[in-house]
Structure formats: structure tokens, C-alpha cells
Structure 1
């Protein structure tokens, strides 16, 4: 990039202690528009000193009166005020998110429109929170007190920048914790904008800090910082292992939502056209860049050929183009690296002998020749052992695998190191519950896909991570529990006088 072009690009900093600040040394990272390949911002690759400044700000806010001493009802009023401001700013935010991560504007509008209610839901949990009184043996009153755990480090991905941030941020604010967020280096812009919006609407300095940079440096500095109390990370499984190991050294709580290879079991009692509609949505929304992407369609042989034919036709009809255009149905993947990854899996499918029935190539969009567009891709006649059936692609890419019996479908579905989500297509209510109970996944959709709610716990098992976001489970995981035991008897006690007659030691 020449100097003249660079001068026209916005230089952004970190957001620490209530304002945007320059990095303390370090390099820079270019942020590109995936639809054009053009550089739209320059961000710092934050240093260890940057991260330390952000954590110190978060710790000071947690301990200070302005936030740490705020009454719960006042905090919830503030959260609701911020949610209202967030809602007002949605048109700006979804346009900015589309520019930054390439999702069609219809998708970002629909997704971001739900986020203010994430804040309101967790604010409601804060108001409804009750500690426990526990019946115990003897003349004692035993009760619990929950105290916020402290500073939450949050590493967010490029695919749903604001949505995944808000899954954690809502619980952070409602519990009285503070946070330092390291957004993906590909998509930091809406995170910075939200931090400013919240600060402008009364959030005390230090509650919500942002450090930019790449995961291997800035992200690592944050995950291993000695003064964090919880790590929240959404990303790949290997990134989760590295960050989780670092956070474990400081005994931080952890919530890790990692990779997936979602199986979708389609039984022959389900309408094939409806199954195909869900298949296309599940596989290609967000350009397939979701951990719950419908990656493996496991289809009963009696409807297999019809399903493949219809899915191929529907896939070929999806409109690819400028994500700012409301008529666009599929935008670009986020980067050249991600485009190359998808195309490498196309080659792997050919190498393994699978049958390509749709897509499989880079798409050149007129006026966006440097954009990272790839055709939505479907491989049929896939065997469970093939690489394309086992590894996460993270792009608009899905495979179709035949099965005969329910037991075989479950065996194929569970033959994976991942266990984030699964889906079932059937009209048999007994089968639906039976299969849902046996499939290895933290989230199961029956005759639906990509459905979430702030009240419903979200997370996976095995290589898909640990812990849960959303729901009361997430809220409670932002507290330490203190047990208080009070003797109500009031009698004199002396263990060392008549020790042999004491009925018990504890």
C-alpha cells in the first residue's frame, strides 16, 4: 500500500479506561473489506504493555466505587439505558459489520437486531438473583453469598463479531465484572464502536476495554495475564488449547467455544424440500463461517438421491454478490487465507473420490474482483473417514453422507472429535427425543438450525470446548460462591475440655 493510500485509511487504537488510545509501541495490522480486498483501517498489534494497561484499568474499575460499588438496581438501569442506545445505533452498526466481515446486510441486520435484548435479559437475571439458605445438620444457619469473580478476558472471532462479544459482555455487565476484549484482527471495528457507544451512555471507564492485534501476540498476552479471573474464547480448537493452557496457569475460570463439524441427520419421514431449505440455510448462512455450520448431512438412503439433486439445484441458485446489496444472499469469506482454505478442501474432496455436485470454485464478482468470494459447495457420496467429513472447513462447504438405519446415522454423527451442535430432521416425535438423547453435542436442533436465545445455554463437549454461554449457567459462572455458617445455639464450647465426650469434630 502506497503512502497516499495509507493516509486515507483510518488509524485506530485500543480502547482503554473509557477512551481510544494509541498503542505503547508495537506493530500494526491492516483491516480489509472482504468484498473488495481494500484496506479500511490500520490497528495496533498490541504489546504486552498495552494489555497490562487494559487489565489494570479493568481491575481498577472492578475495585472502584463507580462500578464495583454501584447498587445492583442502579447497574441494571444503566444496562437497560445502554441497550436502548445500542438499539438506536443498530443501522450504523450493521452497516459497519457488513463492511468489516462481508456478511450480507440482511444477515447482519437480522443478527444484530437481537443483541440489545441480550443485555436486557442478563439485567433481568441480576435483579432476580437470590442467594441460597441451605438446611444443614445441627443448630446452624448456612447461607451463600456470590461475589463477582473480577476481570474477564474475552477473545472474540471474526464470524459474528458483535453477537459473540455480547454473549459474554451481557453477563459481565450484569454480574458486576469488568472485561478486556481482544477482537479478531480481521473484524475489530464494531467492537471499538460499541465500546465508545457504551462509554458515551454512562458506562464507567475501565469496565469495557479493547486491545487490538493478532491472536499469537496480543491474544496470548491477554490469556496468560496474571490478573485475569476468567477467560472467554470463541475460536478454533487449537487456539482454545493454547489460550486455555495459558489461562490455567493463573487458575482462571474458562468458557471456551471451539470448533465443530455439525451433523444433520435427515430421516425419510421428513419433507425433502423442507430438509433441503434447512440444509442450505444451515450450511451457507454467514458464508458457512460458523462453528455450528451444517457441515455433515447424513441422509437416509431412501431419499438420498432426491435430497442431493435438490440441494445441488438450490445451492447453484444462491445469489453471490456485494454484501451491501439487499438482494445478495451470500457474501465473501473473511480473507484470502480463508478462501484458500476452502479451495484446499475442494481439492481434498476430489482427491478422496467424493462427487462434487455444486460450487467448488472462486467466484469473481463484477466491481469486486479482489473480493474473497467462493461458490457454495456441496460434495455427495462422501464416506465418514474422508477428510472433508472430519475436519472443520469454516466456509460455504457441506457434504452429504448416506445411511440406512437410525443406529448407523448416530454412529456416523458421533464419529467426530467435535461435539458442539447437531440437528435432526424427522416427524417421528419418539425418534426425535431418542436421537437427541444419544447424539454427542451440547446443542441439538430438531427441525430447525442456528436457533439461539439468551435464556438457552450454549456450548459444546469434547474438542468443541468447555463451559456455557447464555442462560443462568453463564450468569452464575461470573461469581465466586462463599458459604457462611452461623451457629445459632449460643452455648459455651471448649473442645479441649472433655474431648472424649465430644460427639463430632466437624
Structure 2
């Protein structure tokens, strides 16, 4: 047996409770985006490795070793895991910051809440009731929630542990087995996490990890006929292909895809609160979130003052080494991402957008993939920069006259994941929220997530929901059970002239 928690920066596969090398013999670099240097190697799974992981997970599910465990015992194990996770949390803060470049303050704030996700779904497993259905006649009809089988959890680089926990917690709480495919760019905290699940008592084979390229390992996992549910977080086009693969085997899918979040600021809002909220929405995580405040809509009567204060706020943000507690903005994930963002900014300026602040690579921040926090203004709402996901520390500030125009601009995108409304008018807040075509709406806040609240989008931002009772139920199928309580069985084929009920 190998050690339960892997301590190096080399990311192996985890199959059947063991850390193992891939059958391909191929590895990929794991890079620290703050320095651009290689910090480890990732085992690149091939189709055979994926097939083995899925079959091991399927065998574990069919054996009933986790599925048939009394729910009280499953909940006890998940709570024990949450305790182990919490005890090891400092190592997770530092490892995630090293691997994906988020400032340690952000990483600490986010990951410290994740044990709560496992405790919440453990509690939900203990308390979620099935339905008793009133039907005609002398019958008792009720439902049972049945786990699906093997779930594929495919996560992205920006929030590796948070995105994983949103689905891993309900998947395990409901009795499923899982195969996890983390981003090839940020596998390290996932590999550490599965070791703790084993220590907590999750049986071997219930949780498995296949590392490697999305186009190889991810594609093989999405297309595997034994997969019963796929959860994917990533780009819309890749999500579409995964949804199509799932449909071919009638697997369920939950897809959290792209976004072009709107931050709507009305002129009755305190200017300082509005500026602070907009900056948080736009630049937390270096803007590498699907719910990023990528479009800031400021009411025209306050637009000049907002631009002035927002520029000053942006220029005050400290860019630097993410392991330094004073750093407020870290690097983007890769050189490729940095160059793509800079190219989008060049096109935006050529298309007529004006630069408010930033706009280039950050000098003096080290050898990593750093960008200045950037805001553009007076961009055409239909332009590329105002319509397409940048996935970097870039936002666009646009004016609006009234509620109707704010709604037209905010809803005028193919995405519909998240938006926020900033106003002191309670009636306006609820009125506007009810007309926004987004799956998540915050009022006088942004980027808030709780395990009890459903998370997901409308339109091309995806389908299905993570977290909440909705996610819990979507990892199960309802079984309808109907009991004849009359003590009689009708002889349908006895022609005795009595009225008989068919349905």
C-alpha cells in the first residue's frame, strides 16, 4: 500500500485506494504561475487508465460497500473527513496558492469554508425525507431516492477544491462512487484531498482520480458507458461536447459553463460601497471566475464620479507574489492565458473602448504570468470585450439611464450565470432581480456561495445545479413504490360484471 496522503508535488492517479502511475508512461509539468517554473510532474492518464478507474468505481458501487452503508455511517465518515480536512487546512491553503496563483488571503478565505460543505450534505443525507403521495384508492404510494452509480467530476483550474467540493460532497452523501478529473494545471490539492477521504474511512474504489489532458482523459471519461452523471465546470464549447457525450449514454449532466456577469449600480447607492463591491466582483481570483463582474453598469447620473473613484481603487490594488499576505492580485494561470487576454485588450481598444486603468502585463511582479487589473469604459455593449468571457482581471464599465436600459444591457448576452444589483431601494432590488435572466443574483454583494444555496446558470452558462437540495437530489433517481393495502387482488379475467379499475 502507498501512503494515504501524497506529500510531493508529483500528481499520480488514484485508483482503487492506491496512488499509481499511468499506463502511458507520459507525464506533464505542473507549473507555479507566480514564477513560471515547474514544481512537479503529473501522470497523464490514457483511455485504458480511465477505463480502469471507471470500472473500479463501478465495481465498488455494485458491491454496495458505500451505496448500501447505513446513511448514519456514511454521514459519520463524511464528518470525520471534514474534521481531517480542517486539521490539515493550512497545508491546503499553501498548496492551492502555489499551484494556481491565488493570493494566500483569498485561498485561506475560500478553502476554510469547504469542510462545511461535507458537513452540510452529511446532515442532509440524515434529514432529507422522501415523499408520500396521495393517490386514488386503497393504496400507499411513496418515493425512494436511489444513487445513480458512477459520477464523473471534472473540475477547472480556478477554484480546484471549491469546485470539487460542490459536487463531491453530495455525490458521496447520496451513496455514489466517483471518478475525478481535475484540471491538468491544478491537480495538487485534489490529490491530497483523496488521501484524506481514505483516512476517514471511505472504502477503496469509491473515490478515484485520473489526471491528464482534457482532450484525452477528460474525453474518455465523458464518453464512458458506465458513467451515470457528469459534472463539468469550464468553457461553454467544451461543455457542449461533454453534454453531447453524456446524452449518448443517457447520463445526467450538470454543466457550469461560461459567464459574463453584470454588476448593476444605481445612483442611490453609496459610491464607496459601489466601488468596493465592483472591484471585488471584477478582480477577486484575478477575474478568473465564471461569475466575475465582467460588465459594470453604472447609472449615468453617477457615471463620471464612479469612473473617477473606480480608477483610483484599481490603481491601489497590490499585484505580486501570491504567497505574500500583502498581495491582493496574483497571476493568471498561464502564459497562454496572459497572452490571450492582452490580445483581447488590444482588439477592444482598436474597436473604440477607452482604457480607464491597467491594460498591460504587470511590471516588477516577478517572472510569472502577471497582468495589471484593468478596466475599460465607453465600450459598445455588443462588442467582443463586452460580450465574450475574458477570464482575467478585466472589466468593462458602461452607463445606463434607467432600469429598462440596465436590464437590456445586462440580459443582452448569451450567458446567464450571475449578476449583482447595488441599490438602497428594496422594491427596486427585488423588481430588477426578478427580471434578470441569470441563475444567481446577489443584492448589494457578489461572489457569495453557501452549500445550502443552488448554484448554476441560464442560457449558455450551463444546465443543472450544484449545491443545495437541488444538487443532492440530482445525484439520485426517484423510485416510485405503490402498495395495495386492500388485501384483495382483482381477477381481471373473471367476467362477473363488476366494474374494474385498470389504472
Shorter-chain TM-score above 0.5: yes
Residue 104 of structure 1: how far off its partner (Å): 0.2
Matches of 1:330 and 1:466, distance apart in 2: 31
Is residue 482 from structure 1 mapped to residue 471 from structure 2 by the alignment?
Answer: no
Flag the 1:392–1:109 CA change in 2: closer, same or farther, 3 A: same
Could you say which residue in structure 2 is the equivalent of 1:6? none
Residue 335 of structure 1: how far off its partner (Å): 0.5
Deviations 1:368-419 (A, max 9, x none): 22x0000010001112111100000000000011110110100111100000
Residue 172 of structure 1: how far off its partner (Å): 1.1
Could you say which residue in structure 2 is the equivalent of 1:460? 457
Partners of 2:492 and 2:500 within 8 A in 1: no
Q: Where does 1:254-403 land on structure 2 (aligned, <5 Å)?
A: 254-365=253-364, 368-369=366-367, 371-403=368-400
Flag the 1:454–1:501 CA change in 2: closer, same or farther, 3 A: same
Is residue 410 from structure 1 mapped to residue 407 from structure 2 by the alignment?
Answer: yes
Deviations 1:446-484 (A, max 9, x none): 000001110001000110000011111100111111111
Could you say which residue in structure 1 is the equivalent of 2:239? 240
Matches of 2:491 and 2:176, distance apart in 1: 42
Matches of 2:222 and 2:499, distance apart in 1: 50
Residue 11 of structure 1: how far off its partner (Å): 3.9
Could you say which residue in structure 2 is the equivalent of 1:139? 138
Q: Give secondary structure in 2 for the equivalent of 1:123.
A: helix
Matches of 1:485 and 1:499, distance apart in 2: 27
Residue 151 of structure 1: how far off its partner (Å): 0.7
Matches of 1:343 and 1:80, distance apart in 2: 45
Q: Give secondary structure in 2 for the equivalent of 1:229.
A: strand
Could you say which residue in structure 1 is the equivalent of 2:108? 109
Residue 499 of structure 1: how far off its partner (Å): 8.2
Deviations 1:273-319 (A, max 9, x none): 11010011110000000000000011110000111111111111100
Q: What TM-score do you get using the length of structure 1 for normalisation?
A: 0.96
Q: Where does 1:57-76 land on structure 2 (aligned, <5 Å)?
A: 57-76=56-75
Matches of 1:173 and 1:435, distance apart in 2: 37
Residue 63 of structure 1: how far off its partner (Å): 2.0
Matches of 2:64 and 2:469, distance apart in 1: 26
Partners of 1:495 and 1:502 within 8 A in 2: no
Residue 504 of structure 1: how far off its partner (Å): 3.7
Task: Name whichever of 21-30 and 309-318 sits farther off.
Answer: 21-30
Q: Give secondary structure in 1 for the equivalent of 2:434.
A: helix
Partners of 1:145 and 1:482 within 8 A in 2: yes
Matches of 2:409 and 2:9, distance apart in 1: 49
Q: What TM-score do you get using the length of structure 2 for normalisation?
A: 0.97
Q: Give secondary structure in 2 for the equivalent of 1:438.
A: coil
How large is the RMSD of aligned CA atoms in angstroms?
1.2
Q: Give secondary structure in 1 for the equivalent of 2:416.
A: coil
Residue 26 of structure 1: how far off its partner (Å): 5.2
Partners of 1:226 and 1:250 within 8 A in 2: yes
Partners of 1:26 and 1:47 within 8 A in 2: no
Partners of 1:339 and 1:372 within 8 A in 2: yes
Q: How many residues align structurally?
A: 496
| 5+ long unaligned stretches in structure 1 | 1-8
Task: Name whichever of 194-203 and 489-498 sits farther off.
Answer: 489-498
Could you say which residue in structure 1 is the equivalent of 2:221? 222
Could you say which residue in structure 2 is the equivalent of 1:3? none
Matches of 1:274 and 1:143, distance apart in 2: 50
